[in-house]
Amino acid sequence: MSLVESIYRMTARFPADERLGLTLQLRRAAVSVPSNIAEGAARRSTADYLHFLSMARGSLAEIGTQLEIAERLGYCEHDAAAIEQLDRTFSRLNALIRSLDISRTLRDPGASYESPIPNPESHA
């Protein structure tokens, strides 16, 4: 949620002609992260939860790319605090994914299992 607040504050300073472009894309990706986590948590299965966590991770990757684009276009300065917040969110989400993967494996140790999330430990 803090990341969403940061993105909204940052994009409020973008040029007005970017309102329907990069501003909207960044805001949608930011809102998508906690929304997908919440929707996944409300599902009845771990597989569904992992699916929504995967989508949240994808949105985090989008944010990272879009922040770099915004910086290159001169819409914002390099924001070390925002990047740190993005990194911290990736770490927490990856930890949640790993814990769900492990608990799933422990429930059925004989089952062959491959994570539905490619490279769940990846930062981006």
Give the domain ranges of the chain: 2-106
CATH architecture of the domain formed by 2-106:
Up-down Bundle (1.20)
Kindly report, residue by residue over 1-13, the tens digit of the pLDDT: 999 999 999 999 9
Structure confidence at residue 113 (pLDDT) = 42
Distance, first Cα to last Cα, the chain: 19
Distance of alpha carbon 14 from its chain centroid, rounded? 22
Distance CA 55, CA 61 (A): 10
* Per-residue pLDDT at 44: 86
What is the rounded distance in angstroms from the CA atom of residue 33 to the CA atom of residue 25? 13
Give the Cβ contact number of residue 101 at 10 Å: 19
**pLDDT, position 81:** 87
pLDDT given for residue 51 in this prediction = 94
pTM of the predicted model as reported, rounded to 2 decimal places: 0.80
**What's the pLDDT tens digit per position in 49-71?**
999 999 999 999 999 999 999 99
